[in-house]
Structure 1
Amino acid sequence: MFPNSVRRAAVLAGRRPFIVGALGTLLAAGVLGVSLLTLVAARDTAIQHAHETSRNVVAVLSSNISRTIESSDQSLQTLIAAVDKPAVQHMDADVRHELLFNRTAASRYVTGMGVTDARGRLIDGCCSSTHHWDFSDRDYFLVHRQSAKVGLYISAVYRARSRGGVEAMALSRRIDNADGSFKGVALVAIDVAYFRHLLDDLDVGPHGITAIVRTDGTLVARNPYLPPALTPNFSKSPSFPLMINHASGFYAARASTDGVFRLYTFQRVPGTPLIAVVAPALDDVLASWRTLAWMVGVSASAISFAFCAVVWLLAFALRDRALAEDRLTELTQTDSLTGLKNRRALDDVLENEWERLQRNDSSLSVLYVDADHFKQYNDKYGHAEGDKALKHLAACIARRVRRRGDCAARYGGEEFVVVLPDTDAANALLVAEGIREALEKSWRARRETATAGLHPFTVSIGCATARRTRPASLGELTKAADLALYEAKRAGRNCVRAASMDAPRTDAAQGN
């Protein structure tokens, strides 16, 4: 069962090689498509993984900054509370300075701490109790003098006057008099180096960046370091409003500073105007994916191409095999001398047409064609000339029997049979008469052009036509046609006779 199914499939494939090749090509294209979709999914996964990693990193960065800000703010509030205590105010200046600022002086990055009066002059600070610096122009002083509701203020980056121009940011709170009037500010200075130190510890790839940005668009710190002259104000960036209006988020953009396309993950530091940013470069994120894409792409393409080639080669090989089988089948069903169907093929056609006749209300005609006096012709001119005469007769029959369902076959020797499906008796007689006349005319013309006279070469033809209701069997139909042939022989040969299916049967005459 299975081998037969395989064989039928192979035969069908051989008869439709282009369909098989196209299906194989589509299958290979489908494999490539699946590989492409897999690579696209892997690319999205790589980007998503980079985003999740960046989100974790930016959360840790924000948390560290937030803890430092909270710690510094607690120091500010402790300082303000201590400054207002009468016992502290009446202490010796050196003792008070040691009490209020000694702990801050030991901090690595919180390097500035002090108290100003209402005019912005430094009263006391961790770095010196004698230098009276004027900070009245600083934003961290002005904002508190102008409003009593600011609370904790984090300044923009500035260069510290008291420490040789070191870049710093100040955290400040307002100090009020007992009546609520402005008394001054308490401030803590955090060196920008602290933020740079935080960023230096983060690895986001060779072309990635980490940064801390203020909500006004100014850059606090960046890794790798960007000189102030090359630092833009990010407030003009099309994507900057996204950072301002959301506590956290993710977007992809090409940097205006160096043209690198990066994946930006940001998070606002709670309670501050600071935004922590982590942005690995897309090329770095997809580096390993590109290697995988090349490997999978080249491999899948090579395999698909090879598969297509094999399918097409197989399809045409099956086609050649099917053609060879068809040719072999045709040879087994073809008379080698005349090129008409042979006896074996004739039997199959008769059986098939008889079965078809039983299923519909049509007609089936059979012609028995026999060469007249062929034995004498063969004896006189030899077998070679006899074969030529038979070929000529076969050609005449083939020219008159041209419909797709018609069949002309050599029955044996000089006898031929013509099967005419869907042909009634009248039309069968027309076909038979056409064969007889065609042979007679063509042979007459051949005799006129021959150098030596040729014996006349004619045929006798017997016709029989069956309907679904009669005769009762295929054997009766062929026997009727055979009897009609003998009637034509008795009538003098070179004529056509039709069998009457209702007439009584007579014994066949002997001889030809």
Structure 2
Amino acid sequence: MFPNFVRRAAVIAGRRPCIVGALGTLLAAAVLGVSLLTLVAARDTAIRHAHETSRNVAAVLSSNISHTVESSDQSLRTLIASLDKPAVQHLDADVRHELLFNRTATSQYVTGMGVTNEHGQLMDGCCSSTHHWDFSDRDYFLVHRQSANVGLYVSAVYRARSREGVEALALSRRIDNADGSFKGVALVAIDVAYFSRLLDGLNVGPGGVTAIVRTDGTLVARNPYIRLALVPNFSKSLTFPRMVNQDSGFYAARSPTDGVLRLYTFQRVPGTPLIAVVAPALDDVLASWKTLSWIVGTSACAISFAFCAVVWLLAFALRDRALAEDRLTELTQTDSLTGLKNRRALDEVLEAEWERLQRTASCLSVLYVDADHFKQYNDKYGHAAGDKALKHLADCIAQRACRRSDCAARYGGEEFVVVLPDTDAANAARVAEGIREALERSWHARHEAGTAELHPFTVSVGCATGRRGCPATLDELTKAADLALYEAKNAGRNCVRAAAMAHS
């Protein structure tokens, strides 16, 4: 059963090579589509993994900064509370300075701590108890003087006057008099180097960036390092409001600094205007994926192309084989001299049309056509002329039996048979007469032109028409046509005779 199925499939494929090739192409395209979807999913996975990693890094970074801020804020609260204690106020200035600021001097990054009066002048601090620096222009002083409800304030980055221009930012709180009026500011200075050191320990790829920015768009620290003077204010960026308006998030955008497309993950440091940013470059994230895509894409394309080529070659090879088989079949059913059907093909057509007739209310006509005195003609003019005459007769028959369902065949020698499905006796007689007249006219035309043989070439035709049930068998129908042919011969040849059949 399976071999038969394979053979039938091969025959169908040979008959419809374009469909087979198209199906193969669609299959190859489907494979490419699956490969593409797989690569897209792998790309999304790489980006999602990068986001998860960046989110963890940003969370740790935010936690470390938050811990430092909380520690510094606690120091500020302790300092402010100590300043209001009478016992501390009555201490010697040097002793009070040592008590309040000595511990801060041992911190690695909390490098400045002090107290200003209501005019912004440094009253005392860890850096010096004698120098009275003027900080009235600092943002943290101005903010606290203008509002009593600021709480902890984180300043913008500035250059410290007391420490040779070291970049730092200040954490500050307002100090009030007993009546609530502004008394001054307590502050803790944290060097930017602290933030830079945190960022230096993070590796987010060759094109990646880690940074600490303020909600006003100013940069606090960045890795790789870049001079703050060269960095634009990020508040002008179209994507920066996302960082300001959310506690955390993720998005892809081009850097306003260098134009590199990066995946930005950000985390707000609680209680501060600081934002921790981790932004690996998209090219770095997708580097391994691009290599995989190149390998998979090239392989899938090559395999799909090869598959398509094989399918198309196979389809056309099957087509050629089917055509060859059809041609071979046609040759086995075609008379080599006249090009009409041969006796074998005629038998098949007669059987098929007779079976069809038994299922319908139509009719079937059969013509027996025989060349008159052909033996004498052949003997007189030679076999070459005889063959030429038979070819001409075949052409006349084919011109009159020209419907798709009609069948003209060489029965043997100079005898021909024409099968006319769905043709009644009257129309069959017209076809037969048309064949006879066509052959006769062609001979007269050649005779007048002086090219015809002296002996006229004519035919006698016998017709028989059958319907369902009459006659009872196909053999009776063909015998009736054959007898009609003999009647035409006996009537003097070059004429048509129809068999007298009931209900015909």
TM-score after normalising by structure 2: 0.94
Map 1:98-247 onto structure 2 (within 5 A). 98-247=98-247
Deviations 1:264-283 (A, max 9, x none): 12121110011111111222
Percent of aligned pairs sharing the same letter = 85
1:342 CA drift (Å) = 0.7
**Higher mean C-alpha displacement, 102-111 vs 435-444:** 435-444
The residue aligned with 2:360 is 360
AA in 1 matched with 2:285: V
AA in 1 matched with 2:5: S
AA in 1 matched with 2:370: D
Map 1:362-377 onto structure 2 (within 5 A). 362-377=362-377
The residue aligned with 1:70 is 70
**Higher mean C-alpha displacement, 105-114 vs 232-241:** 232-241
Deviations 1:307-349 (A, max 9, x none): 2222221222111111111100000101112211011100110
The residue aligned with 2:491 is 491
- Is the partner of 2:431 in helix, strand or coil? helix
Deviations 1:191-233 (A, max 9, x none): 0110111111111111121111111111111111222331111
> For the residues of structure 2 that align with 1:33 and 1:275, how far apart are their CA atoms?
42
- Is the partner of 1:129 in helix, strand or coil? coil
> For the residues of structure 2 that align with 1:17 and 1:176, how far apart are their CA atoms?
94
1:179 CA drift (Å) = 3.1
AA in 2 matched with 1:426: A
Alpha carbons of 1:328 and 1:27: their partners in 2 closer, same or farther (altered >3 Å)? same
The residue aligned with 1:415 is 415
1:447 CA drift (Å) = 5.3
**Higher mean C-alpha displacement, 365-374 vs 28-37:** 28-37
> For the residues of structure 1 that align with 2:237 and 2:456, how far apart are their CA atoms?
108
Map 1:331-342 onto structure 2 (within 5 A). 331-342=331-342
> For the residues of structure 1 that align with 2:342 and 2:398, how far apart are their CA atoms?
14
Alignment gaps of 5+ in structure 2: none
Alignment gaps of 5+ in structure 1: 504-512
**Higher mean C-alpha displacement, 399-408 vs 79-88:** 79-88
CA contact (8 A) 2:446 2:452 kept: no
The residue aligned with 1:280 is 280
> For the residues of structure 2 that align with 1:220 and 1:22, how far apart are their CA atoms?
62
CA contact (8 A) 2:436 2:459 kept: yes
The residue aligned with 1:271 is 271
> For the residues of structure 2 that align with 1:277 and 1:230, how far apart are their CA atoms?
19
Alpha carbons of 1:80 and 1:335: their partners in 2 closer, same or farther (altered >3 Å)? same
1:468 CA drift (Å) = 2.0
- Is the partner of 2:56 in helix, strand or coil? helix
1:301 CA drift (Å) = 1.8
- Is the partner of 1:271 in helix, strand or coil? coil
> For the residues of structure 2 that align with 1:247 and 1:202, how far apart are their CA atoms?
21
**Higher mean C-alpha displacement, 264-273 vs 465-474:** 465-474
- Is the partner of 2:358 in helix, strand or coil? helix
Deviations 1:123-153 (A, max 9, x none): 3222222322222222222222222211111
Map 1:16-95 onto structure 2 (within 5 A). 16-95=16-95
**Higher mean C-alpha displacement, 287-296 vs 58-67:** 287-296
- Is the partner of 1:210 in helix, strand or coil? strand
- Is the partner of 1:132 in helix, strand or coil? coil
How many aligned positions are there? Answer: 503
AA in 2 matched with 1:182: F
Deviations 1:39-73 (A, max 9, x none): 22222222222222221111111111111101111
The residue aligned with 1:249 is 249
> For the residues of structure 2 that align with 1:10 and 1:32, how far apart are their CA atoms?
26
> For the residues of structure 1 that align with 2:263 and 2:502, how far apart are their CA atoms?
98
> For the residues of structure 1 that align with 2:430 and 2:169, how far apart are their CA atoms?
117
1:449 CA drift (Å) = 6.0
> For the residues of structure 1 that align with 2:272 and 2:320, how far apart are their CA atoms?
81
The residue aligned with 2:346 is 346
> For the residues of structure 1 that align with 2:464 and 2:237, how far apart are their CA atoms?
99
Deviations 1:363-387 (A, max 9, x none): 1100011222333333444444433
- Is the partner of 2:464 in helix, strand or coil? strand
AA in 1 matched with 2:247: A
> For the residues of structure 1 that align with 2:382 and 2:471, how far apart are their CA atoms?
41
> For the residues of structure 2 that align with 1:121 and 1:338, how far apart are their CA atoms?
126
Deviations 1:66-85 (A, max 9, x none): 11101111111122222222
> For the residues of structure 1 that align with 2:239 and 2:395, how far apart are their CA atoms?
89
Map 1:387-426 onto structure 2 (within 5 A). 387-426=387-426
- Is the partner of 1:341 in helix, strand or coil? coil
> For the residues of structure 2 that align with 1:389 and 1:192, how far apart are their CA atoms?
114
1:240 CA drift (Å) = 1.8
Deviations 1:4-23 (A, max 9, x none): 22222222222222232233
CA contact (8 A) 2:443 2:452 kept: no
The residue aligned with 2:292 is 292
- Is the partner of 1:235 in helix, strand or coil? helix
> For the residues of structure 2 that align with 1:215 and 1:437, how far apart are their CA atoms?
107
1:450 CA drift (Å) = 6.7
> For the residues of structure 2 that align with 1:463 and 1:415, how far apart are their CA atoms?
14
The residue aligned with 1:507 is none
- Is the partner of 1:359 in helix, strand or coil? coil
TM-score after normalising by structure 1: 0.93
> For the residues of structure 2 that align with 1:160 and 1:347, how far apart are their CA atoms?
115
